[in-house]
Amino acid sequence: MRSHWISLVTGAWIALAGLSAGAQQSPVPPMIRIVVPAAPGASTDLFARAIAPQLAAQLGTQVIVDNRAGASGMIGAAAVAKGPKDGSQILMFSTSLISAAATMRATPVDVVNDLAPLAGVAENPLVFAVASQSPIRTPADLVAAARAKPGQVTHGTAGVGTIAHIAQELFDGAAKVQIQHVPYKGTALAVVDMLAGTIDLIVASRSTVGAQVKAGKARLIGVASRQAHPDFAGLPTMNSVAPGYEAGLWLGTWVAAGTPPDIVQRYNRALVEIARSKELVDQMQTDGAVPLNWTPEQFAARVRSDFATFKKLATDKNIVID
């Protein structure tokens, strides 16, 4: 009888503790803004707009997309970092936020400490592309050309500190070559000049040059993944001539540092599930991307690692965004 009474009391205490824990759970805000530091129609914006309705359904709240482009992503990042710490704002951007922060003289936000990583969404390798009339057809051709004329082979990007710029500089170091960087005000302008032969190559996502490749105006010479990529059949890896080289582009989400941990975990679970949805997977296939299932801790470790790598490169090569 006594043991039965103890069991009843213990069971009641556990139930009350569970109710108490539930009562302390942070509420989901009545509206969530996905802040995208890019213009409407950009790749990140399209992903955000695909995610928003699914996230709204998962969390039972309204979700809208808020475009805040400018300053290499820092305007949007600062808005989230300095905003409410209640999960009402989610930043969605790519590796370029980290590369920009690592190469700026000063930033309005500390991307490592002022933002709390939520979840990765997708990751895809970068590709090296040249015009169809270029004599460069393989990674070995690129290295040979760069060594024959140091500093005369050129690559174009959307600007200093972009992930494409960093990816090329990392390749230069691994392959022991010197390829001249030419910054543009947008990747589209670099593609135009690459097709015209004004510059020799670009490093980008496959979708950036997909139409030109399909039309026979451009050619992929290599993929920057660590191993041969199943979505790039027959395309050699750039590390075949640059030992250890790898470069990719990931898309991730953050909230303001100091946001309640239970909100962070709840959002992480929702975003990881959404990233695996058919709609998102189909959208990722354009670039050979794969959904990510990082925990907040794993994402934070990736951010710290990438920032340290990019910062060292920027310091060693004096890469600075004014």
Residues of the chain within CATH 3.40.190.150 domain(s) are 31-123+249-317
pTM of the model: 0.87
Q: How do 248-256 and 89-94 pair as beta strands? A: antiparallel
Phi, psi of 111 (to 5 degrees): -65, -20
Distance CA(15)–CA(23), nearest Å, equals 12
Q: How do 115-125 and 154-157 pair as beta strands? A: unpaired
Using one digit for the tens of pLDDT, what is the confidence trace for 252-277? Answer: 999 999 999 999 999 999 999 999 99
32 torsion bin: left (phi>0), alpha (psi -120 to 50), beta (else): beta
What's the gap between Cα 4 and its chain centre?
57
Distance CA(307)–CA(249), nearest Å, equals 14
pLDDT at res. 24: 72
Homologous superfamily of domain range 127-240: Periplasmic binding protein-like II (3.40.190.10)
pLDDT at residue 96 tops 50: yes
Using one digit for the tens of pLDDT, what is the confidence trace for 27-82? Answer: 999 999 999 999 898 889 999 999 999 999 999 999 999 999 998 899 999 999 99
pLDDT at res. 147: 97
Using one digit for the tens of pLDDT, what is the confidence trace for 152-206? Answer: 999 999 999 999 999 999 999 999 999 999 999 888 999 999 999 999 999 999 8
What integer best gives the mean pLDDT of the chain?
A: 91
Using one digit for the tens of pLDDT, what is the confidence trace for 232-245? Answer: 888 999 999 999 99
Distance CA(127)–CA(201), nearest Å, equals 10
What's the gap between Cα 94 and its chain centre?
3
At position 274, the amino acid (one-letter code) is I
pLDDT at residue 308 tops 70: yes
Q: Which CATH architecture has domain 31-123+249-317?
A: 3-Layer(aba) Sandwich (3.40)
Distance CA(165)–CA(234), nearest Å, equals 25
Q: In the Cβ-directed half-sphere of 88, how many Cα atoms lie within 13 Å?
A: 10
Task: Give the per-residue SS3 of the chain.
Answer: CHHHHHHHHHHHHHHHHHHHHHHCCCCCCCEEEEEECCCCCCHHHHHHHHHHHHHHHHHCCEEEEEECCCHHHHHHHHHHHCCCCCCCEEEEEEHHHHHHHHHECCCCCCCCCCEEEEEEEEEEECEEEEECCCCCCCHHHHHHHHHHCCCCCEEEECCCCCHHHHHHHHHHHHHCCCCEEEECCCHHHHHHHHHHCCCCEEEECHHHHHHHHHCCCEEEEEECCCCCCCCCCCCCEHHHCCCCCCCEEEEEEEEECCCCHHHHHHHHHHHHHHHCCHHHHHHHHHHCCEECCCCHHHHHHHHHHHHHHHHHHHHHHCCCEC
